[in-house]
Amino acid sequence: MKIIADPNIPFIREAFGGLGEVVLIPGRQIAAAAVREADALLVRSVTPVNEALLAGSAVKFVATATIGTDHVDERYLALRGIGFASAAGSNANSVAEYVVAALLELAHRGKYRLRDKTLGVVGVGNVGSKVVRYAQALGMRVLRNDPPLGILEPALEADIVTAHVPLLETTRHMFHHDNLERFTLLNTSRGPVVDNKALLKAIDGDRIPAAVLDVWEGEPNISPELLDIVDLGTPHIAGYSFDGKVAGTRMIYEALCRRFQLPATWQPSLPSGIQIEMSISSGEDDEDVLRKLIRRNYDIVADDASLRRDVRAFDRLRAEYPVRREFHNTRLTLRGASETLLAKVRALGFQVS
């Protein structure tokens, strides 16, 4: 079996090497000639998979190690009888933790408390539902909006709005000139869900108080002008926790084994988690403690700084992204913590000793 794969999929050789020949090609460079003799194609979100890529090829199975599938022409695959799998839900917790980190950083900079704010969650699937749970743990009032699920709360009336929808014709430029006003916006879904030109004008015209973008129109060639004025800007890495990426690899590995009726024997060996000890000062606000704690586990400000140093390094920053473990891998020793704070850190997934 010949397998063409994006090298940004972790453990790719370890997982698939025992199944056949694995050829690694950077995702944006995967072309028709490369896949012509391949049996399977394993990609991430940067590789468009369609008739132009696969026509005349021997490919029998395609998998994307991502939760989004807008880069894959699933109808064409079905017509050709090509098997398909995605890693739906694999990095949902990673994205939700990114949103928590962003919310706490925005609150610190804006000198407000999240418990006094309303969060609008647009899209309450795998990611959005976790965001809802974590926001409620932080004491926020939450408005949910997901028309396909029949949830129609007026989320755009919230103080802060976060988008967690797939890229469809109905969600392209869902946030545009006419509704980008008053609320702080976070987008970790797909770049074109937000009209980036309209967002630039909205921020420049003080129509919205703040914005956080992990996804952008035109990736990897994003707008330097927009990066300059968003509050936090990162290179499409919200879902890049090590745990989420490994879960994605495991899901597509098992799907490929099912497709070709092969035994699934690979199990990843994960690095151990981390331990953090903190002493809580008397009277210190829970949200200040949580911000400091989370920055020791995942520093969103460092990711923002890396992209600002060189906007052209978008793809390199993704390819060389350091190991980031999810909160549940961290064991905390908190001296002087209140029961309220302990309840919050447990609700966010941390282990507390």
Instruction: List residues with catalytic annotation.
Output: 190, 219, 236
Q: In 36-125, which residue ranges form alpha helices assigned H by DSSP?
A: 51-54, 74-80, 92-110
- Measured torsion, CA atoms of residues 123, 126, 127, 131, in degrees rounded to the nearest 10: 90
Q: Which amino acid is at 15?
A: A
Q: Dig out the tokens for 100 from the structure.
A: 């928590």
Q: Which amino acid is at 149?
A: L
Q: Which of 213, 239, 219, 210 minimizes the C-alpha distance to 106? A: 210
Residue with tokens 């396909």: 148
Query: Looking at the chain, how many residues does it have?
Result: 353
Burial class (CB in 10 A: 0-12, 13-18, 19+), 92: buried
Question: In sequence order, what are the residues at sequence separation of 6 or more whose Cβ sits closer than 8 angstroms to the Cβ of residue 54?
Answer: 32, 35, 41, 62, 76, 77, 80, 82
Kindly report the CA angle at 338 between 337 and 339, in degrees rounded to 5?
120
Kindly report the CA angle at 96 between 141 and 305, in degrees rounded to 5?
110
What whole-number distance in Å separates Cα of residue 250 and Cα of residue 256?
Answer: 10
Task: For residue 187, give Cα distances in angstroms to 161, 229, 258.
Answer: 9, 15, 35
Phi, psi at 66, each rounded to 5°:
-135, 165
